[in-house]
Amino acid sequence: MKLLFTILALLIATPTLGASFQVTIPDTSVADLQIACDYLATRFRAKDPTNSECGAMLIRMGQERVAKEIITKAAERTKRDTIKARVAEVLNDFPVPLRDAVCGDGELDSLAGEQCDNGGSNSATVPDACRLSCRPAYCGDGVVDTGEVCDGAGCLSDCSGIE
């Protein structure tokens, strides 16, 4: 049975835009796998992603280890920032450790759930800063940020005033 996965990858060449890849996994007994694009792991810079190869990785959920490494080749651009790709070859059956996602290292790891990461500028107390959890400042974080009147005990749930 062929398993079909869709991956979302951040192309560094267009940092504000995502690309969607469609990848077919060869017949095998795989379970609980997700696919991540090598653009994220290596910060590969492609001038034209339609003519580039993307080394995609099958990652066992929760283990942060590569189960298989595969090469996908861009087949066609279907619409803006969407590329259909197919698996060309399975390269390696041996697990290889991935770079660990670390909040506060200054590298945005969206696959690990980071929404921001400003390195040493992350703060639990500075207004409007990326928080130590790699989430942007928000109402309820205990810090009065731009647009908030208060934040914390006695404050309305939308931080617009005191109860």
Which of 42-51, 61-70, 118-127, 134-143 is the least confident region? 42-51
* Confidence bin at 79 (pLDDT 50/70/90): very low
If phi > 0 it is left, if psi is from -120 to 50 it is alpha, else beta; for residue 104 that is left
> Is 83 inside any structural domain?
yes
58 vs 157, more confident = 157
Helices (H), 16-130: 38-42
- Average pLDDT for residues 127-132, to the nearest whole number? 96
Dmax (CA) for the chain in angstroms is: 62
As for how many domains the chain has, the answer is 1
Q: Domain containing 51: what range? A: 3-97
The first and second tokens of residue 152, run together, are 């914390």
> Is 140 inside any structural domain?
no
**CA proximity to 59, closest of 91, 33, 90, 80:** 33
The first and second tokens of residue 86, run together, are 């197919």
**Of 12-16, 80-84, 101-105, 120-124, which has the strongest mean pLDDT?**
120-124
Neighbouring-strand partners of residue 65: 97
pTM: 0.42
